């Protein structure tokens, strides 16, 4: 376990105060869907060209990574308080960055990820994230790491993905493949000259959303490396103004 502590405070102009209730615990977790926060105040609009959603998937013999475009989104601010937010991601626009686009294997992997084995994009072409609560990241809050089966390509840990100086815990309902789960993670959030900027990094268990192809829990003999890690890493760099 790696302990991550808030080591400073933003200047008053950069500090954002949140009024939502505190999540039940102080580490990254996935739970059942929760009530979405009520939007009260002024809407800031997501800037897709300044927003990046990075993903990485792992197997014992390698890893794949890329981007998923954010197409639209809003975050609602009441004075200096964020009250709600919703973002939409284009699964059909998913990019793979570890394979050249002209390579035959790119098309094969892209097709497989879009298929019913993974995202089932024909029936669920988008994913959404809706904020349910936000709370300051307190001194002493921790990011716990999941124990993983060790190989050359063991997934990155949550503590390695977490921004260096997290300021807040964000909870929200993530909907993929028709399934909604609540995910809570630490993030660095700041506002400057009317522009909101947020960065975060965390892992999810893809099988919680029905992406169960190659589920490592069903691997008869992990020593044979015939599975795909259930852990998927996500890194967010979001801008709204």
Here the CATH number for the domain that contains residue 60 is 2.40.128.110
User: Does residue 1 lie in a domain region?
Assistant: no
Q: Tokens for 53, please give them.
A: 């959603």
Residue 6's pLDDT is what? Answer: 38
User: Does residue 67 lie in a domain region?
Assistant: yes
Label residue 79 by pLDDT band (50, 70, 90).
low
User: Does residue 2 lie in a domain region?
Assistant: no
Q: How many domains does the chain have?
A: 1
* Percentage with pLDDT > 90 across the chain: 71
Q: How many CB atoms lie within 10 A of CB 129?
A: 22
Asked if 184 contacts 169 with a C-beta cutoff of 8 angstroms, the reply is yes
User: Does residue 84 lie in a domain region?
Assistant: yes
User: Does residue 3 lie in a domain region?
Assistant: no
User: Does residue 7 lie in a domain region?
Assistant: no
User: Which value, in Å, is the radius of gyration of the alpha carbons in the chain?
Assistant: 18
Q: pLDDT tens, 195-218?
A: 898 999 999 999 999 999 999 988
What span, in angstroms and rounded, lies between the C-alpha atoms of 84 and 241?
A: 14
What span, in angstroms and rounded, lies between the C-alpha atoms of 15 and 26?
A: 21
Q: pLDDT tens, 124-160?
A: 999 999 999 988 899 899 899 999 999 999 999 999 9
User: Does residue 6 lie in a domain region?
Assistant: no
Phi then psi for residue 197, to 5 deg, are -130, 135
Q: How many CB atoms lie within 10 A of CB 6?
A: 17
Residue 194's pLDDT is what? Answer: 82
Residue 27's pLDDT is what? Answer: 82
User: Does residue 5 lie in a domain region?
Assistant: no
For the question of whether the overall pTM of this predicted structure is more than 0.85, the answer is yes
Q: Tokens for 30, please give them.
A: 């996935």
Domain that holds residue 230: 14-240
What span, in angstroms and rounded, lies between the C-alpha atoms of 174 and 202?
A: 13
Give the E-state strand segments of the chain in sequence order. 2-3, 29-32, 42-45, 52-59, 62-67, 70-78, 81-90, 95-96, 126-136, 142-143, 168-176, 179-192, 195-205, 231-240
Q: pLDDT tens, 9-25?
A: 332 333 333 334 343 45
| 115 closest CA partner among 228, 217, 210 | 210
Query: How far does CA 138 lie from the centroid of its chain?
Result: 21
């Amino acid at each position: 376990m790696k302990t991550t502590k808030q080591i400073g405070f933003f200047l008053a102009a950069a500090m954002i105060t949140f009024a939502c209730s505190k999540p039940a615990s102080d580490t990254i977790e996935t739970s059942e869907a929760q009530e979405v926060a009520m939007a009260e105040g002024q809407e800031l609009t997501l800037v897709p060209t300044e927003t990046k959603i990075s993903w990485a998937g792992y197997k014992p013999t390698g890893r794949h990574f890329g981007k998923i475009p954010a197409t639209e989104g809003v975050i609602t601010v009441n004075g200096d308080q964020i009250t709600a937010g919703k973002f939409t991601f284009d699964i059909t626009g998913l990019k793979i960055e570890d394979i050249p686009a002209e390579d035959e294997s790119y098309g094969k992997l892209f097709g497989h990820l879009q298929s019913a084995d993974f995202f089932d994009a024909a029936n669920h072409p988008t994913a959404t994230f809706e904020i349910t609560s936000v709370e300051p990241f307190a001194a002493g809050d921790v990011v716990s790491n999941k124990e993983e089966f060790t190989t050359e390509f063991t997934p990155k840990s949550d503590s390695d993905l977490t921004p260096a100086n997290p300021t807040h815990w964000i909870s929200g309902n993530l909907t993929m493949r028709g399934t909604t789960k609540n995910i809570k993670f630490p993030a660095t959030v700041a506002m400057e000259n009317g522009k909101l900027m947020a960065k975060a990094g965390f892992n999810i268990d893809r099988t919680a959303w029905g992406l169960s192809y190659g589920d490592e829990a069903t691997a008869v003999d992990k020593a044979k490396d015939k599975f795909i890690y259930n852990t998927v890493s996500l890194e967010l760099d979001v801008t709204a103004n």
